[in-house]
């Protein structure tokens, strides 16, 4: 009789700020990268999730700047739904300062969540207590590829800091928000299909724990001074060639 093979030992993962991440997610976390808290933490965390270094954050924010002013510019304006807020996001992504970034240059959600998902053609999960409802962001345009890489997961803690999380393939994830339902292109319809059961289970556990979940009556942005026909370009002091030729970024 062959001996029963030993079960693999579970590896305990250190999770900073674990009290701010839903407890049913803890067992699905394989690794946490707590990046420097210098105002660039969101971009640094995305860089880590893209297998870059924490110091490659400027590559990330420039990629998102190009995405925002690219061919789907009008769609992003409609998603943000507020011309003033759109310009604030554009200004934040035009920032080229050194040292600690001011608060108005930080990554914000849901504004940049969709940019990340679309740029890298991957779902982005943002787990949050302080930021509001945890949310999954799917690309707004284009069908999912046959093989999708691991989810990109950010945890928002202390009301001011992002961390990068590596999740197991079967991790429960929160629902996407109404902004995706309202503004995604028809060819992106099938993105949530493979995650439906995992999103339902996440919401059920959230409700049982008394946490808010993404619902169909979720409030959208308030429309304010918004012109859907306006294509907003770079602000003063910022030169960008979206066709990947030479670039010159300077702080506005």
**Which token pair is 195?**
């995650």
The predicted structure's pLDDT at residue 221 = 37
Contact between 134 and 126 (Cβ < 8 Å) = yes
pLDDT of 9 strictly over 90: no
Which domains are delineated in the chain? 18-208 (3.90.70.80)
d(CA 69, CA 60): 15
- pLDDT greater at residue 214 or residue 52: 52
Q: Report which listed range, 3-7, 18-22, 228-232, is most confident.
A: 18-22
The predicted structure's pLDDT at residue 240 = 36
Strands 152-157 and 161-167: antiparallel
d(CA 178, CA 140): 12
The predicted structure's pLDDT at residue 177 = 85
Q: What is the average pLDDT across 3-29?
A: 77
d(CA 150, CA 166): 8
Match 């959600």 to its residue by tokens: 109
**DSSP helix/strand/coil, 152:** strand
The 10s digit of each residue's pLDDT in 138-186 is: 999 999 998 877 899 999 999 899 999 999 989 999 999 889 999 999 9
| Average predicted confidence (pLDDT) for the chain | 81
Measured in whole angstroms, the distance separating CA 151 from the mean position of its chain's CA atoms is 10
pLDDT bracket for residue 10 (50, 70, 90)? low
* Peptide bond connecting 110 to the previous residue in cis, omega within 30 degrees of 0: yes
| pTM of the predicted structure, to 2 decimals | 0.79
170 backbone dihedrals φ, ψ, rounded to 5°: -105, 20
What whole-number percentage of the chain has pLDDT above 70? Answer: 79
Cα dihedral: 92, 96, 102, 105 (round 10): 20
* Cα within 13 Å of Cα(44), Cβ side: 18
pLDDT bracket for residue 12 (50, 70, 90)? confident
d(CA 52, CA 37): 18
**Closest of 114, 111, 169, 115 to residue 136, by C-alpha:** 114
Is the four-CA dihedral 219, 223, 224, 229 of positive or negative sign?
positive
């Amino acid at each position: 009789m062959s001996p029963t093979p030993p079960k693999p030992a579970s590896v305990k993962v250190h999770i900073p700020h674990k009290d701010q991440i839903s407890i049913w997610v803890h067992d699905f976390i394989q690794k946490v990268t707590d990046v420097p808290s210098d105002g660039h933490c969101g971009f640094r965390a995305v860089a880590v999730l893209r297998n870059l270094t924490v110091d490659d954050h400027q590559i990330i924010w420039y990629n998102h700047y190009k995405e925002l002013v690219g061919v789907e510019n009008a769609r992003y304006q409609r998603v943000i739904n507020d011309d003033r807020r759109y310009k604030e996001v554009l200004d934040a992504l035009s920032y080229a300062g050194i040292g600690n970034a001011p608060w108005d240059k930080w990554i914000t959600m849901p504004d940049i969540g969709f940019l990340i998902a679309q740029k890298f053609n991957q779902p982005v999960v943002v787990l949050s207590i302080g930021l509001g409802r945890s949310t999954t962001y799917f690309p707004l345009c284009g069908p999912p590829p046959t093989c999708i890489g691991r989810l990109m997961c950010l945890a928002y803690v202390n009301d001011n800091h992002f961390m990068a999380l590596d999740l197991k393939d079967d991790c429960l994830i929160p629902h996407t928000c109404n902004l995706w339902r309202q503004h995604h292109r028809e060819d992106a319809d099938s993105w949530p299909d493979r995650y439906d059961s995992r999103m339902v289970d996440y919401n059920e556990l959230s409700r049982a724990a008394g946490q808010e979940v993404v619902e169909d009556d979720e409030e959208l942005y308030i429309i304010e001074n918004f012109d859907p026909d306006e294509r907003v370009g770079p602000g003063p002091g910022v030169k960008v060639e979206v066709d990947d030729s030479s670039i010159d970024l300077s702080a506005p």
